[in-house]
Structure 1
Amino acid sequence: MKFANLAIIVTAAGALSACTSASTAAPKGDVPKLEVPPLSLAKFTGKPCRVFGVDQLDSLGISGPGTPDPEQFAGRCRWSDGSSKATTIGISLFGESQGLARVYAAKGAFPYFRPTEVAAYPAVDRDTGEGTTGTCATVVGIADEAAFEIQVDVDDETSADYATPCAVSKQVAEIALNNIKGGG
């Protein structure tokens, strides 16, 4: 699928920790068990922009290299076409005890929280709205202590993706998952 007016923001490190405290834990029965081989984010630590290859960004309508943006926290990158109605797609890499258990522990903060899968890896679609109004985040558990999140924000209300942002976030999550499996 090719997205028009696409901007990609890539972030890393402790973004999830802003949603939950370090002592918060989800009941073990709520969190889906990883039934596939665990993956590591080590190769992308400090380099989350490398999760997506340049050719993959071209296929999504983005040209040019990402621009690091360390103002939020280390490891943030941004690709933008400069459009006022751009779709923004971001990735956050979570490690160090920040797997799906932390996401489930914070599920009360998200009115839209739907367990799902991405290429057999346990995942969650979540949003502070209804998951049908331009925003959705898909968090994919890749190990007991690691996950990544794809965040989609579609600003153009006339875009078909505006009503189905979780479908977009899952598609981008599958691309990222395949790249993480391959080690970059």
Structure 2
Amino acid sequence: MSRRPLLFVVAAAALTVAGCSGTTGGTASPAPASATDSNTGGSGGGSAPKVPAPLNVSSIQSNACATLSSAKVSQLKLSPGTPRTGSAGPSCTFTYADDHGNQIDVSTVTANKNGLSDVYDTKANDEYFEPTQIAGYPAVYAAALDHRGKGKCGLFVGVTDQLSVNILAQLDNGADAKTPCPVVAKVGEAIVQTLKEG
């Protein structure tokens, strides 16, 4: 079964997330559908590593702000999140408590049914694609445009084999603007801990 319409929706949503803050780039864009049509269930060549212990994602399926507990929001020195809903799924914008010009966007891409594998299968569209692990979970730094030197970094974390969480830092001010990727890694660790705690 072709996933052509689904991938178009995810691509459009990724552009919407980037556009909300007046910036560009930051999220991986899907490849043309022909590159993914042969992949069945995320098990084809180039798909992501399996999630070792799927997390309980029921709380974040409709509310991406639930990806971070209030304790983690405070620990990360963020303000409470502002929820949004797009065609790809729920998202949430957290701003720095001391500088609202800096923000972290978190999206649960529920429209994408193959989790991190769909990110792997569209890596040809990314200017950077760097697999990693976050708190023992498969993850990848990836974005259609490489603006890491401008305070932007995108990270996808596989929380189940069917769902990944996209974390996008858009930092204009302060020391973190020079090194945005460690910031999204820290947020990713906090998300995994939040979901483990239920």
Structure-1-length-normalised TM-score: 0.74
**Structure 2 counterpart of 1:34, from 50, 55, 58:** 50
Alpha-carbon deviation of 1:133?
2.6
Query: Per residue, is there more helix in 1 or in 2?
Result: 2
The question of 1:177 aligning with 2:192 is answered yes
Distance 1:153 1:182, change over 3 A: same
Amino acid paired to 2:151: G
1:140-179 aligned at under 5 Å gives the runs 140-156=157-173, 159-179=174-194
Q: Distance in 1 between matches of 2:82 and 2:122?
A: 31
Q: Distance in 1 between matches of 2:140 and 2:77?
A: 26
Please give the secondary structure, in 1, of the residue aligned with 2:192: helix
Q: Distance in 2 between matches of 1:103 and 1:51?
A: 20
Q: Distance in 2 between matches of 1:84 and 1:61?
A: 10
In the alignment, which residue of structure 1 is the partner of 2:78? 62
Q: Is the 8 A contact 1:17 1:98 kept in 2?
A: no
1:1-184 aligned at under 5 Å gives the runs 17-18=10-11, 19-20=29-30, 24=36, 25=39, 28-34=44-50, 36-63=52-79, 65-70=80-85, 72-73=86-87, 75-80=90-95, 86-95=101-110, 97-127=113-143, 128-129=145-146, 131-156=148-173, 159-183=174-198
Alpha-carbon deviation of 1:15?
10
Please give the secondary structure, in 1, of the residue aligned with 2:56: coil
Q: Is the 8 A contact 1:133 1:163 kept in 2?
A: yes
Q: Distance in 2 between matches of 1:179 and 1:150?
A: 15
Distance 1:151 1:100, change over 3 A: same
Amino acid paired to 2:135: A
| Cα-to-partner distance string for 1:102-130 (whole Å, 9 max, x where unaligned) | 10122122111101110111110013115
| Cα-to-partner distance string for 1:4-27 (whole Å, 9 max, x where unaligned) | xxxxxxxxxx99822337772478
Q: Is the 8 A contact 2:96 2:102 kept in 1?
A: no
Q: Distance in 2 between matches of 1:16 and 1:88?
A: 24
In the alignment, which residue of structure 1 is the partner of 2:15? none
Q: Distance in 1 between matches of 2:128 and 2:65?
A: 28
Distance 1:39 1:151, change over 3 A: same
What percentage of aligned pairs have identical amino acids?
Answer: 29
Amino acid paired to 1:110: D
| Cα-to-partner distance string for 1:113-170 (whole Å, 9 max, x where unaligned) | 10111011111001311533311111011222111111111112xx322222111101
Structure-2-length-normalised TM-score: 0.69
Please give the secondary structure, in 2, of the residue aligned with 1:50: helix
Amino acid paired to 1:164: T
Q: Distance in 1 between matches of 2:82 and 2:48?
A: 35
